[in-house]
Amino acid sequence: MTAWSIRLYTVCDELLWAARLNLLWIAFTLLGGVVLGVGPATVAAYTLARRHAMGESFAVWTEFTAVYRREFVRGSLLVLPLAAAAIVLFGNFLYFTALGPGTAALRLTTYAALVALVVVAAYLLPMYVHYDLRPRAYLPKASLFALTRPASSLLLLFALAAVMFAASSLPILALTLAVGGWIQLNTWLCLRFFAENEARLHPKGD
């Protein structure tokens, strides 16, 4: 096989994997009635995305189901507060926008808070499936990571914006690839950020 055909095969394989992850996330979110399903389905998707990024082989359906059941409560406690906060902030942003120019300061403040929440969540979920920490330690560590790694945070925002733009331009992607693609890309990037941070904190030879 030529180098070009190998790259094409790799891209197609990653797209197929993202589509499978997307389908599993949707199916298991619906299985839990959306509200009760989105938390464990999201944690399960991030868990499998991490294993895929690390080159592991596994039975996708079996492993997704196992993580979904194991994380049914903890996954909801992790994801639902983030989702609720995002919905409230987005609703406030739309409300302030509808009120007109007089609420510009409130609108910008709400928008900044929403962006900050998105960045923290982008670190929090990969961190949850990668590190074994006390439950209360994840949010402070993810927030600290977001503050101390501005370049990485901007890259995550750019990646999310690219996924959202692609999904809005081609609505079929929203159903087939958007969530799975973002989860895999988010996980892949964060694993590298975590590795770089660990190498900086613990240089070889120390």
**Res. 86 pLDDT band, cuts 50 70 90:** very high
The contacts of residue 69 (CB under 8 Å, 6+ apart) are 40
pLDDT at position 37: 96
CB-CB contact of 41 with 28 (8 Å) = yes
Span 20-75, pLDDT tens digits? 999 999 999 999 999 999 999 999 999 999 999 999 999 999 999 999 999 999 99
pLDDT at position 200: 86
Tokens of 151: 């370049």
Tell me the average pLDDT of the chain.
Answer: 92
90-113 burial by CB neighbour count: b if 16+ within 10 A, else e?
eebbeebeeeeeebeeebeebbeb
CB-CB contact of 38 with 83 (8 Å) = yes
pLDDT at position 201: 78
Among 21-25, 26-30, 102-106, 137-141, which is the least confidently predicted range?
102-106
**Res. 120 pLDDT band, cuts 50 70 90:** very high
Q: Measuring CA to CA, how many Å separate 94 from each of 20, 25, 98, 108? A: 33, 28, 6, 11
Total-model pTM:
0.93
**Domain assignments of the chain as residue spans, ordered by start:** 3-201
Helix (H) or strand (E) holding 31: helix 3-31
pLDDT at position 205: 54
Model confidence at 96: pLDDT above 60:
yes
- The stretches of 32-103 forming alpha helices (DSSP H) are 38-53, 60-70, 72-99
pLDDT at position 103: 85
The residue among 189, 201, 200, 85 whose CA lies nearest residue 127 is: 189
Model confidence at 2: pLDDT above 70:
no
**Res. 6 pLDDT band, cuts 50 70 90:** low
Pairwise CA distance, residues 115 & 179, whole Å: 18
**Res. 171 pLDDT band, cuts 50 70 90:** confident
